[in-house]
């Protein structure tokens, strides 16, 4: 059927189907479910949708496997059913074709992995290739005639998906990326870059799907047409969705879609279909319009206005460093961590900030819901302290709770509030906290977050769009000298520095042997490192940290001292921390004190006489 498809492609426009998810939703399936899993649990509803599209005139139907890769299925605990879901998805589509008795092509639908690739995300290109290969092999086993790789926003991810398909078969590939209102992908790829890049990979058709709606897709296709001789495809959304009576409704009507189908065909598009919000009614209207268009020469001089590629410039202006950035490297700095309140009253943390200001420390660290427990927004807390006191704040920002958009939104908002010191951290997993079943985001890890902040400092967001003036963030990262896999930790630390980190905090340390090993390993790294210390309160506290908190190692000798101290454990803990700091202070650029149980005065005692 692959060769048959290529022959059919030469003869004229091929109509593809429309949305699968929109129809499943309209028929009572919640967005919270895995639509792909319905191939196993409710194949009849999937098959009925395929049949409706065939009846509407579609010559290509896409398998219900858009999100059937291991990363997206993992959110539903289905990562071990990739093969079953994809094979079944192909068989359901083929069965629908047989029942309707029409000559229809079954396209294996492959969507994005759902998480960004490295360096911004945590998925390596090798892992992406493996995941796409696993899905492609299953779709091939199910008997698809071609592959449609769609809704990809990163050219690097698209390349891995194409490689995966080519590694398992030689079936035709339709490669469709999604574009934003600015005419570029989320990762900043232009239509011209996409067309040229995919042409070199030997795909048969290149195009755009999803995106904003028919108008934007038309602009994108126009730019592609000026760049490549490949066949083009277009499957736009039905505009923006609107919530009506508790349900999402798409506003672009079948009639409106039909008009754009005419325009697209006259512009040379060979495959036309729909994406989110489109229905069999849209496809039926498009089929009629395409048939009429092929039998008339009306508007033969139709011309689309193609926007010129916008040159992206980086704003250049003098960057004002934070006071903490000015101090670090010139003096031994002291910072103390404060946890935001668990409720809405900031009185206690403001009192602690006043105490720290009076003591003369250089900065306070504001944690971001540490141990995955609900606390007041770290940005709000930092802003309150910043407004009330003349003291530097270092904002911890985790990747756990924010997607790529949210991270950039919060960063620009924090900068507007005068918060310029950021500690980029991946974040404790939700399973450690009060809501172990909530979904962590982790679009990126701490390395990716550093990359994002670095771009903001250059005046652009991750996609390359100008943000006006550049930010002036001073970027910090964490490092754990006591990590179980020390070499891997050091490898990640060097990647953080390479991504643009300006300084680092260590996890709280208790073992001088580990410290010396770390110092030797990092002596050639050109970055200020601040030593983390957390005074122990009791033998029970020491045992808990050593045995239950990831990344903290307390030597047996230290734990024994705490056991012998009995009810004077806090006094002994402060004494041990002072001893450690006295020995280590000349090896670091500062100290980062972490109070336990809110005992701010206890950590200040560590500084006496040093």
Condensed to tens digits (0 to 9), the pLDDT of residues 166-198 reads 999 999 999 999 998 788 888 888 999 999 999
pLDDT level of residue 213 (50, 70, 90 thresholds): confident
- How long a stretch of residues is the chain? 610
Beta strands in 3-44 (DSSP E): 14-15
* Residue from 290, 402, 370 nearest 550 by CA: 370
Instruction: Give the pLDDT band of residue 247 (cuts 50, 70, 90).
Output: low
**Is CATH 3.40.50.280 the classification given to domain 2-294?**
no
DSSP 61-90: EE-S-TT-SHHHHHTTT-GGGHHHHHHHHH
Residue 307 has pLDDT above 70, yes or no: no
By the 10 Å C-beta count (0-12 exposed, 13-18 middle, 19+ buried), 574 is classed as buried
pTM given for the model: 0.73
Low-confidence winner among 414-423, 551-560, 574-583, 601-610 (lowest mean pLDDT): 601-610
- CATH 3.40.605.10 for domain 327-536+572-606: no
- Tell me: the pLDDT tens digits for 392-411? 999 999 998 899 999 999 99
Mean pLDDT of 358-386: 92
| pLDDT for the residue numbered 535 | 94
Element (H, E) at 505: strand 503-508
Percent of the chain with pLDDT over 70: 92
What per-residue confidence (pLDDT) applies to 298? 43
User: 266-288 burial, b if ≥16 CB within 10 A, otherwise e?
Assistant: bbebbbbbbbbbbbbebbbbbbe
Q: Tell me: the pLDDT tens digits for 485-534?
A: 999 999 999 999 999 999 999 999 999 999 999 999 999 998 999 999 99
Same fold, 2-294 and 327-536+572-606: yes
Residue 256 or residue 458, greater confidence: 458
Q: With 70 as the cut, is the pLDDT of residue 471 above it? A: yes
Mean pLDDT for all residues in the chain: 89
- Higher pLDDT: 552 or 305? It is 552
The domain ranges of the chain are 2-294, 327-536+572-606
State the distance between the two ends of the chain, measured CA to CA, in whole angstroms. 79
**Mean pLDDT throughout 592-608?**
89
pLDDT confidence of residue 314:
42
Can you give the pLDDT at residue 468?
87
Q: What is the largest CA-CA distance in the chain?
A: 95
**What does R_g of the chain's alpha carbons equal in angstroms?**
29
Question: 308 pLDDT band (50/70/90 cuts)?
Answer: very low
Contacts of 80 (CB under 8 A, 6+ apart): none
Q: Give the per-residue pLDDT at 309.
A: 38
């Amino acid at each position: 059927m692959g060769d048959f498809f290529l022959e059919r492609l030469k003869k004229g426009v091929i109509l593809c189907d429309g949305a699968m998810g929109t129809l499943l939703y309209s028929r009572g399936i919640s967005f919270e479910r895995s639509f792909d899993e319905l191939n196993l649990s409710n194949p009849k509803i999937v098959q009925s949708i395929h049949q409706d599209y065939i009846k509407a005139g579609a010559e290509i139907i896409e398998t219900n496997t858009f999100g059937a890769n291991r990363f997206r299925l993992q959110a539903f605990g289905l990562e071990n059913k990739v093969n079953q879901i994809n094979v079944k998805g192909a068989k359901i589509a083929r069965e629908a074709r047989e029942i309707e008795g029409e000559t229809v092509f079954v396209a294996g639908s492959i969507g994005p992995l759902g998480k960004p690739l490295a360096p911004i995300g945590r998925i390596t290109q090798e892992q992406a290739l493996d995941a796409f290969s696993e899905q492609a092999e299953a779709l091939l086993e199910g008997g698809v005639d071609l592959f449609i790789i769609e809704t990809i926003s990163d050219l690097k991810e698209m390349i891995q998906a194409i490689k995966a398909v080519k590694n398992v078969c030689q079936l035709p590939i339709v490669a469709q990326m999604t574009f934003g209102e600015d005419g570029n992908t989320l990762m900043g790829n232009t239509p011209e870059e996409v067309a040229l890049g995919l042409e070199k990979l030997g795909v048969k058709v290149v195009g755009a799907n999803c995106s904003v709606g028919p108008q934007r897709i038309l602009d994108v296709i126009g730019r592609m047409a000026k760049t490549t001789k490949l066949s083009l495809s277009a499957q736009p959304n039905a505009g923006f969705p609107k919530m009506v009576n508790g349900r999402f409704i798409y506003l672009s009507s079948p009639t409106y879609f039909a008009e754009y189908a005419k325009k697209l065909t006259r512009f040379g598009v060979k495959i036309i279909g729909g994406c989110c919000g489109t229905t069999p009614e849209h496809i039926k209207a498009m089929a009629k319009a395409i048939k009429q268009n092929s039998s008339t020469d009306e508007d033969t001089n139709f011309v689309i206005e193609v926007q010129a590629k916008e040159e992206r410039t980086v704003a250049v202006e003098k960057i004002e460093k934070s006071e903490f950035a000015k101090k670090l490297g010139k003096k031994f700095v002291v910072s103390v961590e404060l946890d935001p309140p668990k409720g809405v009253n900031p009185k206690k943390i403001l009192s602690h900030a006043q105490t720290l200001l009076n003591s003369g420390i250089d900065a306070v660290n504001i944690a971001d819901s540490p141990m995955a427990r609900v606390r007041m927004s770290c940005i709000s807390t930092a802003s309150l302290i910043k407004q009330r006191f003349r003291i530097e704040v270092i904002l911890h920002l985790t990747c756990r709770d924010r997607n790529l958009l949210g991270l950039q939104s919060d960063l620009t908002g924090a900068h507007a509030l005068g918060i310029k010191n950021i500690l980029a951290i991946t974040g404790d997993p939700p399973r450690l906290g009060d809501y172990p079943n909530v979904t962590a985001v982790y679009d990126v890890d701490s390395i990716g977050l550093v990359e994002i902040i670095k771009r903001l400092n250059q005046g652009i967001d991750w996609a390359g769009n100008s943000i006006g003036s550049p930010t002036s963030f001073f970027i910090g990262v964490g490092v754990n000298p006591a990590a179980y896999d020390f070499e891997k930790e050091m490898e990640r630390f060097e990647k953080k520095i390479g991504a643009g980190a300006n300084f680092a905090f260590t996890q709280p340390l208790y073992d001088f042997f580990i410290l010396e090993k770390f110092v030797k390993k990092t002596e050639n790294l050109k970055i200020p490192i601040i030593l983390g210390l957390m005074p122990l309160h009791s033998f029970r506290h020491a045992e808990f940290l050593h045995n239950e908190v990831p990344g903290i190692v307390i030597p047996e000798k230290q734990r024994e001292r705490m056991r012998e101290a009995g009810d004077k454990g806090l006094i002994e803990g402060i004494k041990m921390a002072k001893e450690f700091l006295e020995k280590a202070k000349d090896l670091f650029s500062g100290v980062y004190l972490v109070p336990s149980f809110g005992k701010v005065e206890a950590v200040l005692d560590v500084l006496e006489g040093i």
